[in-house]
Amino acid sequence: MTVDFGPTLNALLALVGPVLAATAAVLARAIIQHFNLKNNAVLSARITDAASRGAGVAFHMLQTGAASLDKVTIHNTAIAAGANYVATALPDAIASLGVSSDTLAAMVKGELGKLLAVNAAPAPGAKP
């Protein structure tokens, strides 16, 4: 005596198939979202690193006297040079994340503030 499980398996597959397909779709969407978030985090880190290097460019300009701290705005030569460095170094990442030139300037200005705070030496004989 033989038992034919074909019709039973076909019915079971008809019930389970859509569930498996939906699960695969949800899982695929989650994996894609994970990689997009990871990619955005990597791009953001690269832009932040470039902003730090751009602040180094700005700091160098301030040290050499090519710019001053009288007016630290987006029109400041040192800040503009640092922001341009970042924009030139990572144009694809900046475009992908939609970072504006004002945001780049703010990032460079913030990193420059860190450099100036670290490298600020008190004048001889000055009270702390």
How many residues belong to the chain?
128
Number of domains in the chain: 1
Q: Would residue 76 count as lying in a domain?
A: yes
Q: Would residue 32 count as lying in a domain?
A: yes
Q: Would residue 124 count as lying in a domain?
A: no
**Model pTM score:** 0.46
25-49 pLDDT per residue, tens: 888 888 888 887 888 888 878 887 8
Q: Would residue 61 count as lying in a domain?
A: yes
Q: What distance lies between CA 101 and its chain's CA centroid?
A: 14
Which residues constitute the domain of residue 72? 24-115
Task: Identify the DSSP state of 68.
Answer: -
Q: Would residue 47 count as lying in a domain?
A: yes
52-87 pLDDT per residue, tens: 777 777 777 776 665 544 444 456 777 788 888 888
> Residue holding tokens 């503009």?
80
Q: Would residue 125 count as lying in a domain?
A: no
